[in-house]
Amino acid sequence: MMRAGFVALVGRPNVGKSTLLNRLVGYRVAAIASKPQTTRNQIRGIVTTEDAQLVFVDTPGLHEDARTLLNRSLNASAVAALEEVDVVALLVEAGRFTAEDEYVLKRLQHLRQPVVLVINKIDRLKSPNEVLGFIDSMQKRHDFAEIVPLSAQTGANCDSLVKALKPYLPESDLLFPEDQITDKSVRFIVGELIREQIMQRLHQEIPYSVAVEIEQFDEQPSLVRIGAVIWVERDGQKAIVIGKKGQMLKAIGSHARTSIEAFLEKKVYLRLWVKVSEDWQNDSRRWQQFGVDAD
């Protein structure tokens, strides 16, 4: 009997949703950074086993402090995604339940779908026994269908999550070809790999003001030529991304190229430009241009 369905990954910002998605899929299909609110799109990662196909939806992190129009739209996008899935996986950090986590949990109270609690980052606990007390406290907060402790970073117990989710999926034929790992285009993933490098290096200076637009993607048998624009909101941010004598932009490009080559399994020629689009986070027309599906 084959089962197939959709699983929403939800949680506060920076709890590890994108890391878990990438771990489950086996490829880096979503940008990872230590800065919250890295995810801007509903990215679907597809995991196919012998008896099931799980389509994981990585939603933007839900948070109360949504100041820009973009962040408010991201919140709405994440909530809307919950209505369209078969099961919800709520991620929290092992040993830590914050006011932001409580905010997310409250948004799930009305759902008819089962909610599976995923306790992430168990590798950071001093003792494995610490998670037992945390599980007990979480059981008092909500009637979870399942509770799965794991580490998205190391991969510990991630297989158990897939196993725990399967029974909650409807009987169905495959929703996607069995060798497909995401519904996003190659261009999208390339843009995410570039943005990931920017966020990792400049997460203090430029928290959320960066978008990446792929302008050129010319694939040849042994080489892929890629041209991308890094959009920021102010001239000062442009200078930061470029860096002294262009060193920061060079480092971003070099590391992004390595990640892209590993993903495409081909040599890559990557050119980057930095341009300014003032206050783009409050302009929904610009979101579409930059490939952000927050509407």
Angle, vertex CA 269, rays to CA 265 and CA 273, nearest 5: 130
Range in 47-51, 106-110, 240-244 the model is least confident about: 106-110
pLDDT the model gives residue 207: 54
- pLDDT tens by residue, 115-162: 999 999 999 998 878 899 999 999 999 999 999 999 999 999 999 999
- Going by pLDDT thresholds of 50, 70 and 90, the confidence category of residue 31 is low
Whose structure tokens read 């993933």?
189
Q: Are 20 and 91 in contact (CB under 8 A)?
A: yes
Domain ranges of the chain: 3-168, 186-290
Residues 230-250 have a mean pLDDT of: 92
d(CA 134, CA 83): 28
Residues 188-210 have a mean pLDDT of: 81
Q: What is the mean pLDDT of the chain?
A: 84
pLDDT the model gives residue 55: 94
User: Largest alpha-carbon pair distance within the chain?
Assistant: 60
d(CA 2, CA 25): 19
d(CA 44, CA 6): 9
This prediction's pTM = 0.71
pLDDT the model gives residue 289: 64
Query: Could you tell me which of 3, 12, 7 has the C-alpha nearest to residue 116?
Result: 7
Whose structure tokens read 């009637």?
143
pLDDT the model gives residue 205: 67
- pLDDT tens by residue, 46-71: 999 999 999 998 776 554 555 555 55
pLDDT the model gives residue 290: 63
- pLDDT tens by residue, 171-187: 999 999 998 888 888 88
| Check whether domain 3-168 has CATH 3.40.50.300, yes or no | yes
186-290: CATH topology is GMP Synthetase; Chain A, domain 3 (3.30.300)
